[in-house]
Amino acid sequence: MVYIALIVINIIIFFLIPHDRLYALNILFMKGAYWQLLTSMLMHANWLHLALNMVVLYQFGSILERYLGSLKFTILYVGGGLLTSLLTAFYIYYDSMRTQTLINVVGASGAICVLIGFYAYINKQAFKEMIISVLVMSFIPMFMGVNVAWYAHIFGFICGYCIAKLRILA
């Protein structure tokens, strides 16, 4: 069960990797810190952030690993997560230049939104609910003053949906 291993890895990394801008996804990526595409997916801002992401990873991971098999699920999660991180890196580079602020992105939610987008394609009845879920998790916390990388959620959903639609893992 790869999804369980991913949960365990995220929990272990929460304790092992220092919360440092060298490992979060930020403008340093454009200066050669390419590992940030992966390390940022394994870091979380706090316990609540980690717990919420791992609950959703458990929900969709269990469904999609059974549907795809372990290898294809791993490719979807890691490959889709890396693609989402890359798109996010370009977005934060642009936004950092525009606002002159340093943006640090951490969390597995971009990769998890890949799973949600993939699921939304394969389960047409759940499409609207999945869109609403991603929008709620992206924007409601912002109204409560919580910093959320909403663009990573949107990029992840689109990546997952496109991977399913294009039958890349077929």
Q: Using the CB atoms, write b or e for 100-121: b if 16+ within 10 Å.
A: eeebbbbbbbbbbbbbbbbbbb
Q: Is the torsion defined by CA of 60, 156, 140, 50 positive or negative?
A: positive
pLDDT tens for residues 91-134? 999 999 999 988 999 999 999 999 999 999 999 999 999 999 99
Closest CA to 67 of 5, 115, 131, 132: 115
Which tokens belong to 103?
Answer: 């943006």
| Cβ atoms within 10 Å of 127's Cβ, excluding its own | 15
pLDDT tens for residues 99-109? 998 899 999 99
pLDDT tens for residues 25-46? 999 999 999 999 999 999 999 9
